[in-house]
Each structure stands twice: as structure tokens, then as C-alpha cells.
Amino acid sequence: MGGRDTDNQGNRLWRKMTVAQIRPGDGARYSEVVFLESARFYKLYRNNPRYDEILKDLRHALAKRRALKVRLASPEGDIIENVEELDETVRSGHFWAAANLLRQDSQRQSV
């Protein structure tokens, strides 16, 4: 894993983020990922060569309540290029409260 850590202007492309929800996106084009640290909906495109591995890492992080190091295509973008594991565990009860609210909201929308 790896790659550049900054864009041409020196802006950080990696962010520490905690997965709150993963759901299908626009048909077969991408999966949508929600992080606790942002109100934005992020996209993991299926044409990413590491799509399956990244999705597995995101699901594992959600299940284990672990934050990930998330690399975006651009500093203010919403496209996930890569993820890496962090060593620290998110232990806050707020994590599950927020995740449950998102899950309930998603279930209401699908009805």
C-alpha cells in the first residue's frame, strides 16, 4: 500500500475516518460509504483495481469499530482510492449510537 500522501499543492489526501455504514450505490458502478467524521457520502468505484480488498477492509473496520486511514482521489473529493489499517480502536459508545441511527434512517428510506 502507499502512494503519494499529498497532492501537487501539498494538501493531505489521507484522512483518519471511522466507517459508519456501507451500502449499494448507483447500480453496479460503486458502493457508498458513510463515515462518522463527515456528512458526505463517499464512493468506492467498482472499477478500482482493489475494489474487493478495500470493501473487505471497510467491512472489517465497521465490524471491529476500527478507524482506517482513508486515501481520497482529491483533498475535498468523495472518491475513495485506498484504505489502510490503523492500530488504534475506536472505543466510544457514540460510534454505535451514530451507526444505529444511520442504519434506522436507511431502513426507513427503503420502505
pLDDT the model gives residue 76: 85
Cα R_g (the chain), whole angstroms = 14
Question: Strand, helix or coil at 76?
Answer: coil
Residue 91 has pLDDT above 50, yes or no: no
pLDDT the model gives residue 12: 59
pLDDT band at 71 (very low <50, low <70, confident <90, very high): very high
Show me where the domains of the chain are located. Answer: 14-110
- Do residues 10 and 17 make contact, with C-beta atoms less than 8 angstroms apart? no
Looking at 2.60.40.3500, 2.40.30.10, 2.40.50.340, 3.40.50.720, the CATH number of the domain 14-110 comes to 2.40.50.340
Lowest mean pLDDT among 31-40, 53-62, 81-90: 81-90
**Euclidean distance between CA atoms 79 and 44, whole angstroms:** 6
Long-range CB pairs of 46-49, under 8 A, 24+ apart, other chains included: 48/80, 48/81
